[in-house]
Amino acid sequence: MSEVALELSAELVVDSAIPQDPAISPDGRWVAYEVTTVGVRERRLSALWVAPADASSPPARLTAGMTWDRMPRWAPDSASLCYASDQELHRIRPDGGDAVALISWRAGIFDHLPLADGRLVAVFDVTVAAAGPAGEHRNLTAGMAVCPAELVQVADGPPLALFADGLDTALYRLDPAALRFRRVSTMQGGVDALTASSSGEMIAARASTAYQPKDIHAGPPGGQLARLSDTRPELRLISWGTQERLSYTASDGLELDGILIRPAGMSRQDGPFPLITLVHGGPYDRHADEFMLGWCPSGQWLATGGYAVFLPNPRGSRGHGHEFAAMVAGAVGTDEWTDILSGIDLLIAAGVADPERLGIGGWSHGGFMAAWAVGQAGRFKAALMGAGISDWGMQVGVGELGTQEAGLGGSCGWESTGPHRHHQLSPISHASQVRTPVLILHGQDDTNVPVGQSTYFHRALCRYGVEHELVVYPREGHSIMERNHQIDLLRRTRAWFDRWLGQPASDE
């Protein structure tokens, strides 16, 4: 009997289980990890699972998932592991049995580390850096055409590290003599949450490719990693948009990459399609060639709704070395903007994108870029500004990174009487040029990009009579966490683009 196709819904997106925080045992035999859901209901719940690192048998659930069970950390002898459960610390054996409560910490547990035979545990609450002179620093990745993402210490050997490598991920090992990283292997798509055994001969990580959601994998560093978890089998019943890798050249000759997702069931010959460009955050982040589905309006959420989706990696992105990433310092919205336009124009020329039905959106820095785009060009018919910056001077004053934001916006505002560089690079300065309908979404308690950034842009659009909506989610920070809010965000975003770009034709 053939399997029945499943329709993707917002509920399915946010109720799906996701694995995170893998921890391989020191002897390399076991991998423990947390499984939770994308969206949080009344309280966060998660369970711990454990699997043989060689994938010789299916994973087993260690805890019931009736509390927030997280941060599995192995004892040095690999005979037990400790984990945080709400505000308590517990110990359990990998073969199951009852967990033993060790300590309750009213302030919450930030992290912990079993010591010796596991009978002693160091618990971390709040730490303050000690005063004193800093040691000499040396850049171990200077000149590399990839970008460091994670570093893992190996007890009996040199450290291992993950590097963003274009649309893929590379594993490197530090050469202690030369103090240089040497490539061990390249893994397709996105890989994170690296963990290593004491010898470094076995690793585990979370990996995802174009049509495979994030799952826990393990194996030798230079070999094929075996998939241990299978947390979202229901997603195999859905017809996904076809994901393509893109390589193209910027107007100044810089080599760029990105991802195109065609509408589900459609070929290039079925175009042109309404195209939505989704800009990543950061700007020091990237779109890897991985499965694009999540609460933040994502490629497959829109592709299954009938849209083609362009996910560019303009200059400033991670994956092409430090020089590439540093090109946006004090110059956000300039050359990175024309990089994005070059990709859109490429897709129009190829007959993939309909020039009369273009949308743009993103979250965080992607939200800034969407607000910037509608003030620079009138070619977009709809935009989504998610938790984006509208004024870089305000961000210096009230954002949690303070004066570090001037490294992107170009100035603080107190250098002189002005005008300042950040005025030129702030979407609010170009609000009088906006004609595109804008959906503005923000978390009320966001301290990274405070909600005043969206309020400021909203008031400017009111002044100029621009069609827009402002939605502020209560209790939310820079990421939207509550299940009902995530569902609303997904539905609202697709409805917004449907309204202004025209309901895409189905493949039936």
- pLDDT tens for 192-237 read 999 999 999 999 999 999 999 999 999 999 999 999 999 999 999 9
Q: How far apart are CA 90 and CA 84, in angstroms?
A: 6
**Is the residue at 82 inside a domain?**
yes
**Tens of pLDDT, residues 387-436:** 999 999 999 999 999 999 999 999 999 999 989 999 999 999 999 999 99
How does 469-481 read in b/e, with b if 16+ C-beta sit within 10 Å? ebebbeebebebb
Tell me the backbone φ, ψ of residue 99, rounded to 5 degrees.
Answer: -75, 150
Q: What is the mean pLDDT of the chain?
A: 92
State the DSSP string of 96-146: EEEEEEEEE-TT---EEEEETTTTEEEEE----PPPSPPPP---TTTT-SS
Residue 95: the pLDDT is 87
Same domain, 282 and 313: yes
Same domain, 173 and 211: yes
Which residue range is the domain that position 322 belongs to? 236-391+426-501
Greater confidence (278 vs 504) lies with 278
Same domain, 200 and 250: no
CATH of the domain at 348: 3.40.50.1820
Which structure tokens are listed for 81? Answer: 């592991």
**Is the residue at 2 inside a domain?**
no
Q: What percent of the chain has pLDDT over 70?
A: 94
Same domain, 339 and 192: no
Residue 126: the pLDDT is 43
**Is the residue at 379 inside a domain?**
yes
Tell me the backbone φ, ψ of residue 120, rounded to 5 degrees.
Answer: -110, 140
Same domain, 241 and 387: yes
**Is the residue at 289 inside a domain?**
yes
Q: Final residue of a domain: which of 203, 231, 259?
A: 231
DSSP state of 237: G
Q: Is the pLDDT of residue 505 over 70?
A: no
Same domain, 327 and 469: yes
Q: How far apart are CA 102 and CA 211, in angstroms?
A: 41
Q: Final residue of a domain: which of 187, 211, 231?
A: 231
**Tens of pLDDT, residues 161-180:** 999 999 999 999 999 999 99
Q: How far apart are CA 275 and CA 31, in angstroms?
A: 41
Same domain, 223 and 112: yes
Residue 297: the pLDDT is 80
Please choose, from the candidates 319, 346, 409, 397, the residue with its C-alpha nearest in 3D space to the C-alpha of residue 372: 409
Find the largest Cα–Cα distance for the chain: 74
**Tens of pLDDT, residues 260-301:** 999 999 999 999 999 999 999 999 999 999 999 999 989 999
Q: Final residue of a domain: which of 171, 196, 231?
A: 231
Which structure tokens are listed for 229? Answer: 């978890």
CB-count exposure of residue 424 (10 Å: 0-12, 13-18, 19+)? middle
**Is the residue at 407 inside a domain?**
no
Same domain, 177 and 300: no
**Tens of pLDDT, residues 105-126:** 777 777 777 876 666 666 656 4
* Confidence band of 503 (pLDDT split at 50, 70, 90): low
Tell me the backbone φ, ψ of residue 480, rounded to 5 degrees.
Answer: -85, 120
Same domain, 113 and 246: no
**Is the residue at 419 inside a domain?**
no
Same domain, 176 and 246: no
Q: Is the pLDDT of residue 373 over 90?
A: yes
pLDDT mean over 90-109: 83
Please choose, from the candidates 87, 69, 2, the residue with its C-alpha nearest in 3D space to the C-alpha of residue 33: 69
Same domain, 306 and 433: yes
How many folded domains does the chain comprise?
Answer: 2
How does 255-288 read in b/e, with b if 16+ C-beta sit within 10 Å? ebbbbbbbbbbbebeebbbbbbbbbbbbbbbbbb
Same domain, 210 and 250: no
**Tens of pLDDT, residues 376-400:** 999 999 999 999 999 999 999 999 9
Q: Is the pLDDT of residue 259 over 50?
A: yes
pLDDT mean over 179-188: 96
Residue the block writes with tokens 């925080």:
21
**Is the residue at 279 inside a domain?**
yes
